[in-house]
Amino acid sequence: MDKQRPRTLVATCGNVMASDDAFGPMVARELRSHALPSVEVIDLDIRPAALLDYLPGKDGLILVDAVHAPGLEPGRVLDIDWFSPDRPGLVNDDTMSTHGLSLAMQLNLARSLDLLPPHVRLIALSIEPTRVGQTASEHLAAAVGKAVDLVTKRATYGSAPAAEQQHA
């Protein structure tokens, strides 16, 4: 195996101009300063259609994004298998997808093309509905730190530990 090749892809998504939807990009910025071995960090920003470009050859994918979910209090950080039926919808999926090619659609397409990594996790921040121009909430900074720790643990020790921890 090529030791130089990143095995885990961390892909973040979100809009830095729309309040707590900046969660993903801020996690990416923080992770880059950690220089995790065998981990490639990409910030898809508001252009999730680029995700497919980065999937070939990866053993694991960690998506970092914001979610809206009824009954889920804002500020809560989730760590959940992407294919779990309990996974809430992403802020950026569909509603802000680029030309309709959402993250979920791309992962389904990747599966059709045998490009889907074996392990796919979602680390997400539950946020209030946002609009462009709104400032970040008091939850954001703490959530970014928590997410960085979770991503580091997942990327270092694997994406599918024996004890599934759904909510951090």
Partner 1 sequence: MNMNDSNSKRNISTTRTIRVGALARVEGEGALHLVMNGDQVEKVHLEIYEPPRFYEAFLRGRDFKEVPDITARICGICPIAYQMGSCHALEKAMGVFDDVTPEIRALRDILYCGEWIESHTLHMFMLHLPDFLGYESAISMAEDQGDTVKQALRIKKLGNTLMDVVAGRSVHPVNVCVGGFYKAPDPKAMADLLPEVEACLELMCNLTLFLAEHITYPDLIRDYEFVCLNPDEGYPMNLGGLISNKGLDVSQEEYGKAIEEIHVKHSTALQSIIKGRGEYLVGPLARLNLRHDGLHPRAQELLPKVCDLIGQQLPWCNNFLSLPARGIEIVHALALSADIIRNYQLPMISRVPITPRAGWGAHGTEAPRGTCWHEYETEADGSIKSAHIVPPTSQNQITIESDLRELARLLVDVTDEEAAMRCEHLIRNYDPCISCSVHFLKFSRDWKGDRSVPAPPVDTAGGAKRDG
CA distance 38 to 61: 12
**Alpha helices (H) in the chain, listed in sequence order:** 23-32, 51-54, 103-112, 140-157
166 sits near partner 1 (criterion: CB under 8 A): no
> Does residue 21 touch partner 1 according to CB under 8 A?
no
Mask for 123-162, x = binds partner 1 (CB under 8 A): ---------xx-----------------------------
By the rule CB under 8 A, 3 interacts with partner 1:
no
- Residue for token pair 């939807």: 21
DSSP-derived 3-state class of residue 152: helix
CB 20 within 8 A of CB 137: yes
Name the strand (E) or helix (H) holding 153: helix 140-157
Smallest gap from residue 83 Cβ to partner 1 (A): 15
The answer to whether residue 85 forms part of the interface with partner 1 (CB under 8 A) is: no
Which residues, 95 to 114, sit near partner 1 by CB under 8 A?
95-102, 105, 108-109, 112-113
Residues lying near partner 1 in the complex (CB under 8 A) are found at: 17, 43-47, 49-50, 52-53, 94-102, 105, 108-109, 112-113, 132-133
